[in-house]
Amino acid sequence: LGEYFREFQHIATFLGKRNCLSERERDTKFLQGFHMDFRNVLLQQLSLLHPQHYMDEPWASKEVYEEATFLL
């Protein structure tokens, strides 16, 4: 997880500085980088912890990383 996070942050920062990747896109892509089965478990956990989160808003990559760390 740490390796994925560091590599993703490196690429996302590079693209973000060049206005090629928005924060919303970054958060969406970060979550999509997880295997579908784990992503579903992760989304369930996030939904339980944050029931007020709007479903049309992507989860912040920081929250996703923290919950992924907890689950692993």
- Rounded Cα gap, residues 2 and 24, in angstroms: 21
Count of domains forming the chain: 1
pLDDT, one tens digit for every residue, the chain (72 residues): 999 999 999 999 999 999 999 999 999 999 999 999 999 999 999 999 999 999 899 999 999 999 999 999
Question: Given this model, what pLDDT does residue 35 score?
Answer: 97
- Rounded Cα gap, residues 38 and 43, in angstroms: 9
- Rounded Cα gap, residues 34 and 45, in angstroms: 14
* Helix, strand or coil, per DSSP, at residue 67: helix
Domain, as residue range, for 58: 2-71
Question: Given this model, what pLDDT does residue 47 score?
Answer: 96
- CA–CA distance from 22 to each of 42, 46, 54, 69, 72 (Å)? 23, 22, 19, 24, 28
